[in-house]
Amino acid sequence: MSLERHWANRLATKISKMLGGEAAGGILLIAVAIAAILAANSPLQHAYHDLFHDKLPWTPVYKLDTLHLWINDGLMAIFFFVVGLEIKREILDGELSDARRRRLPVLAAAAGMLAPAVVYLAVAGTAQPMQRGWAIPAATDIAFAVGVLALLGKRVPASLRLFLLTVAIVDDLGAVTIIAIFYTAEIKLAWGVGGLLFLIALIAANRYRLHSYLLFGVLGLGLWFCVLNSGIHATIAGVLAAFCVPLSVSKGGDSMLLRLEHALVPWNSYLIVPVFGFANAGVALGGIGMEGLLDPIPLGVMLGLFLGKQVGILAAIVASDRIGFAPKPEGASWSQLWGMSVLCGIGFTMSLFIGALAFPRYPILVEEAKLGVLVGSLLSSLLGYAILRLSTTPAPGEKAMESPAEPGDPKLP
């Protein structure tokens, strides 16, 4: 059965169209963040906190005994599974599959992670525990950034949108690597070996073309459970499982990876990420206050996202173009590339997630990091939109910008 005819893909497509496409995803995240902040600073603040942090009366997984843990370690594993699918597709059959085309996005993404970390450490310092937050401003929220870009419609050249997507994909790969290396607790050997066995089984299933959704689902769930108990963050299991999903297209035009990605992306954008955002973006300002934004952690996170991202990415593009390493995206002006670089400072989902991992024993520091993420992301979205709005004017009669084919679209090879 072809991708476009499968019921899960048809349902996913209908959901995406019903909710208004890419722009709707960014608008939804803004609404969710506002709702979370209002809930955390209203008479509902205790109900909001208790909803996510009170012990559940029963849980099938003893380590996940609150709704907040189920969201951050359970639902977000699915989020990272979809991220892993996107990364694998891009590396094997997308913009990152060509060495010449991936030079600039990889360089820009690397600079866009290094510069914010340097800015953060310069402001917050290298003493513990503040030093552990260096990676918070290093991540870009794809859905949010692309959503803001989509609001500009045909004003933005297709090459700029594609470049932003590619940089964000590489950025996600970097964020996953950082989580695995720098935010992993002491590994429990027995559970780690169990996870390795499940991973080997997934690789074997791919190798021997056992393309059964049930088999991959059971093995993936086993991998997640072992990783959850091993000390490695459970979301890493989502990425590892995704890398084992076959991409090869059958004679009937079917591909397990493309079908899963196409079916899960709308659920990721319109359910999982908003639920995560609502559960994690609620900053209780009563204990911090907006004046707290000048404290080292929130100020470092905010400046890392707002200044570090744009400086790092734009400097990498300029330097690469000037020395002939890789030319800037065709059809994009320098002012448009600046606006795109600023939009990469929208951290939100990934930054909130890393913030919770950075300070597990210091709830007040997690709240401060949230404040920096929200303000930095807000400033980046407003300035990035303004720059692109002022630097682009649609030509009379110009056709709307055509979006690249979605996963599972028949236009894909």
The predicted pLDDT at position 405 comes to 44
Q: What pLDDT is stored for residue 16 in this prediction?
A: 54
Structure tokens at 77: 């594993």
Give this prediction's pTM.
0.88
Range 82-98 average pLDDT = 91
Q: Which of 93-97, 111-115, 174-178, 302-306 comes out lowest in average pLDDT?
A: 93-97
What is the spatial distance between Cα 176 and Cα 283, in angstroms, rounded to a whole number?
25
The pLDDT assigned to 396 comes to 47
120-135 pLDDT tens trace: 999 999 999 999 999 9
| Exposure string for 356-379, b = 16+ CB within 10 A, e = fewer | bbbbeeeeebbbbbbbbbbbbbbb
Q: Find out whether 154 and 175 touch, Cβ atoms under 8 Å.
A: no
Question: Which has the minimum average pLDDT: 41-55, 138-152, 164-178, 194-208?
Answer: 138-152
Q: How confident is the model at residue 13 (pLDDT cuts 50, 70, 90)?
A: low
The 10 Å Cβ neighbour count of residue 120 is 29
Q: What is the pLDDT at residue 252?
A: 66
Which tens digit of pLDDT belongs to each residue from 173-194? 999 999 999 998 789 999 999 9
Q: Are 217 and 237 in contact (CB under 8 A)?
A: no
Distance (Å, whole) CA 315 – CA 257: 35
Other beta carbons within 10 angstroms of residue 310's beta carbon come to 25
Cα distance between the two ends of the chain? 17
Closest CA to 159 of 306, 29, 333, 307: 333
Q: What pLDDT was estimated at residue 365?
A: 94
Asked whether residue 18 carries a pLDDT value surpassing 70, the answer given is: no
Within 13 A of 38's CA, how many CA atoms are on the CB side?
Answer: 6
Cα 97 from Cα 89, distance rounded (Å): 9
284 pLDDT band, cuts 50/70/90, is confident
> Which CATH code is given to the segment(s) 20-50+67-184+233-283+292-391?
1.20.1530.10
> H-type helices in 256-308, by residue range?
256-267, 273-280, 296-303
pLDDT computed for residue 248 by the predictor: 85
User: Peptide bond before 274: cis, by omega within 30 degrees of 0?
Assistant: no
Q: What is the pLDDT of residues 30-76, one digit of tens each?
A: 899 999 999 999 999 999 999 999 999 999 999 999 999 999 999 99
Q: What is the mean pLDDT of residues 347-374?
A: 94
pLDDT of the residue at 24: 77
Averaged pLDDT, 16-36: 76
What's the pLDDT at 134?
97
**Nearest one of 294, 268, 3, 16 to 142, comparing CA atoms:** 268
Angle between helix 256-267 and 76-93 (nearest 10): 140
Regarding predicted confidence, which is higher, 95 or 407? Answer: 95
Task: Check if the beta carbon of residue 145 is closer than 8 Å to that of residue 164.
Answer: yes
Q: What pLDDT, on the 0 to 100 scale, is given for residue 20?
A: 54
Structure tokens given for 13: 């497509």
Average pLDDT over residues 247-256: 78
User: How far, in Å, CA of 279 to CA of 33, rounded?
Assistant: 9
- Region 284-301: mean pLDDT is 84
The total of other beta-carbon atoms located within 10 Å of residue 389's CB is: 14
pLDDT band at 22 (very low <50, low <70, confident <90, very high): low
Query: Closest Cα to residue 412, out of 142, 7, 9?
Result: 9
| Mean pLDDT calculated for residue range 313-339 | 95
